[in-house]
Amino acid sequence: MSTVNIAIVGATGAVGTTILEKLLERDFPSSSIKLLASARSAGNVIEVDGKQFTVEETVPESFEDVDIAFFSAGGAISKMFAEEAVKRGAVVIDNTSAFRMTETIPLVVPEVNADALNEHNGIIANPNCSTIQMVTALEPIRDSFGLGRIIVSTYQAVSGAGAEAIDELETQSNQFLNRHEIEAKLLPTGAGEKFYPISFNAIPQIDAFDSSGYTLEELKMINETKKIFNMNDLHVSATCVRIPVVSGHSESVYFEVDKEGVTVDEIRSSLVNAPGIVVQDDTNKQEYPMPLFSEGKDDVFVGRLRKDPDHPKGFHMWVVTDNLIKGAALNSVQIAEALLATEKK
């Protein structure tokens, strides 16, 4: 696989279009890129960097001669077509939750566990956006000082719920400012019975609730983190909140290291040269990460580093990244790059 034939399923969606942009921007060695979506979009033309691509309907035969297939059209479509793609010789990089917790399927953030790519059966799972940014920021700390516990609260952008959720935020913001009645049709979850406005609001529910009182998004963060770090005993808890930001998830992360006497400066030093991370942490200059300024950028931004006042091994930090980029599309493309590098070895 030195140059590869690529397919993107869900190519008209928020993540799919970003995957195409990242493949072109990073000069990914592709011989062809096929854009796939539903029958509704077949024949539509998407233009990126002056190059035109015609969208095709996704059918099993779409994957003939495809080497790498990126999937980002929801779990049901992945379950319907991923095996069809693998049967025809493609490696699937799946951006949905369909296969993430399947034991035999690697769940990969290249900065953390690229080694997991050495053994796959044709499907590789891309983690949830909020998990990716947290484990990327925690990995250098875990590597130097170990980890005993994580408690995270998220402040998540609407683009994580797809292109329609961005439209809903814009429409509701106009309705609010024009003193019209606000129509809520989509959030917190399309499958739910109640909908709430996201404009000028914060919704402490992302995805459905499970009987434990946690949402599925929170359980994804808990379970995926343990799998990626290969630490079943790690204590992890999460509260996930949707806020009226278009792109860029923010996270308040409390973590306990495993080693005695670690200082904030030592934590900061471990992060400064870590891959994919930019430290923005100078309170004298009011310097810290914010989602508005992470939009369109590849990096995971870390700031507000401080020691917990009471727990000797406890620290807090604020982690921000563009959820469509490192949280989804970029991580998928980096998995493909790591896969090619593994095969060259």
Residue 129 annotated in active site: yes
Look up residue 304 and give its two tokens.
């507000």
User: By CB under 6 A, which span of 71-79, 97-105, 125-133, 186-194 interacts with ligand A2P?
Assistant: 71-79
Convert residues 13-32 into a mask of x (bound to ligand A2P by CB under 6 A) and - (unbound). Answer: xx-x----------------
SS (H, E, C) 133-173: HHHHHHHHHHHHHCCCEEEEEEEECHHHHCHHHHHHHHHHH
Residues 46-65 that bind ligand A2P (CB under 6 A): 58
Task: List the catalytic residue out of 120, 180, 249, 316.
Answer: 249
Q: Is 144 in the site for ligand A2P (CB under 6 A)?
A: no
Our CB check for ligand A2P shows the closer of 164 and 298 to be 164
Our CB check for ligand A2P shows the closer of 77 and 319 to be 77
- Do 253 and 138 contact (CB within 8 A), yes or no? yes
Residue 240 annotated in active site: no
> What is the Cα–Cα distance from 133 to 156, expressed in whole angstroms?
12
> What is the Cα–Cα distance from 219 to 300, expressed in whole angstroms?
22
> What is the residue type of 327?
G
Q: How far is the CB of 57 from ligand A2P (least distance, A)?
A: 7
Q: Within the chain, what is the greatest distance between any pair of CA atoms?
A: 62
Look up residue 251 and give its two tokens.
């996270």
Our CB check for ligand A2P shows the closer of 5 and 12 to be 12
Look up residue 128 and give its two tokens.
């949830």
Q: Is 116 in the site for ligand A2P (CB under 6 A)?
A: no
Instruction: Give the number of residues written for the chain.
Output: 345
Our CB check for ligand A2P shows the closer of 12 and 133 to be 12
> What is the Cα–Cα distance from 325 to 334, expressed in whole angstroms?
11
User: By CB under 6 A, which span of 3-11, 21-29, 63-71, 109-117 interacts with ligand A2P?
Assistant: 3-11
> Among 40, 87, 235, 259, which residue interacts with ligand A2P (rule: CB under 6 A)?
40
Look up residue 87 and give its two tokens.
């049967």
- Do 169 and 158 contact (CB within 8 A), yes or no? yes
Q: Is 311 in the site for ligand A2P (CB under 6 A)?
A: no
DSSP output for 16-41: HHHHHHHHHHTT--EEEEEEEE-GGG
Q: What does each C-alpha distance from 334 to 1, 48, 108, 242 come to in angstroms?
A: 16, 20, 10, 27
Our CB check for ligand A2P shows the closer of 156 and 270 to be 156
Q: Is 327 in the site for ligand A2P (CB under 6 A)?
A: no
Q: How far is the CB of 68 from ligand A2P (least distance, A)?
A: 17
Q: List residues near ligand A2P by CB under 6 A.
A: 9-14, 16, 37-38, 40-41, 58, 73-74, 77, 162-164
List residues with catalytic annotation: 129, 249
